[in-house]
Amino acid sequence: MLQAESFAVEIIKKIDNPVYLVAIVLIAFFGFIFKDNILKAIKEGVIAKNKPTESKILSLLNHDVFPTMTRIANQVNMMKFYTDQKFDETKSRMCHDFTKHKTEQCAIRMQAVIKREDIDYIPKNALKNYVFHEQTYMHELYVNAVKQEWYEKGVQQKDIDYVIQLFESFRYDVVVSFENRINAIFSNSAYDSNYKLLLAVFEMWAMGIDLLPKDMQTTFEALNGRFKNLKYDL
């Protein structure tokens, strides 16, 4: 302790400029008075610097696409279909069940994309391939869920395949547009982070969900009286 004090005194003696001397004395004085606060600030700064930055992509869990799917599912549930000018409950329920599975499965996979641990660091081309893969996987999941429920409720396999194919034919333009837009998004240098890329993709998916009621109505109106006598397990 005495050696430290002697060393400090020797340093002060060697300072010729009184302004520097006063400044050093003041700094030492206030440093001693507020040493606890200074140490605390330094410690908090080190912790903050080393603390992992939360993924900005996680904010996409609040994206409008999710309430949009809920809104669209409710909208389709209000749709009614008729055969020979009479309310066709079977056709209406089949449409509602189809939309339920599509929106539910798409929401699950979109959330999985957002929550993927390395989503912030995936290289651009790999991320594009991943988006295409997930989009295809969403389709497979909801189609399989629809087929299973319809089959369990008495719809024959050939009729199930017919309706699915009919829907996909009306939905074809949207699917092609998705592919074109994804390629355009990933070739645009303005999207210079994975967050911006996925934000653009989610905006596109939300648009596609908004178009769903029209495609559902077109599909099930085209069925005419195909399921008129089907005893669908409601």
Q: What is the pLDDT of residues 94-107, one digit of tens each?
A: 999 999 999 999 99
- 194 alpha carbon, distance to own chain's centre: 12
Q: Which residues pair with 86 in a beta bridge?
A: 83
Q: How many angstroms separate the Cα of 206 from the Cα of each of 71, 105, 134, 157?
A: 11, 14, 15, 31
pLDDT at position 16 over 60: no
Q: How many CB atoms lie within 10 A of CB 21?
A: 13
DSSP SS3 for 192: coil
pLDDT at 50: 44
Average pLDDT over residues 6-19: 56
Strand segments, DSSP code E, in the chain are 82-83, 86-87
CB atoms within 10 A of CB 3: 7
> Span 201-229, mean pLDDT?
89
Q: What is the pLDDT of residue 192?
A: 93
Q: At a CB cut-off of 8 Å and minimum separation 6, what does 16 contact?
A: none
Q: Which sign does the torsion angle of CA 15, 19, 21, 27 carry?
A: negative
Distance between CA atoms of residues 135 and 139, nearest Å:
7
Q: Give 127-158 pLDDT, tens digit per residue.
A: 999 999 999 999 999 999 999 999 999 899 99
Does residue 12 have a pLDDT over 90? Answer: no
> pTM (2 decimals)?
0.74
Q: What are phi and psi of 203, to 5 degrees?
A: -60, -40
Give the mean pLDDT of 65-88: 93
For residue 121, pLDDT over 60 is answered with yes
Residue with tokens 């949009």: 68
Q: How confident is the model at residue 39 (pLDDT cuts 50, 70, 90)?
A: low
**How confident is the model at residue 55, as a pLDDT?**
81
Please tell me which residue, 7 or 189, carries the higher pLDDT value: 189
Q: How many residues comprise the chain?
A: 234
Q: What is the pLDDT averaged over residues 54-79?
A: 94
Q: Is pLDDT at 206 greater than 60 in this prediction?
A: yes
> Can you spell out the DSSP letters for 166-189?
HHHHHHHHHHHHHHHHHHHHHH-T
- Longest Cα pair distance anywhere in the chain, in angstroms? 108
CA distance 31 to 8: 15
Among 185, 204, 187, CA closest to 196: 185
Q: Is the pLDDT of residue 187 over 60?
A: yes
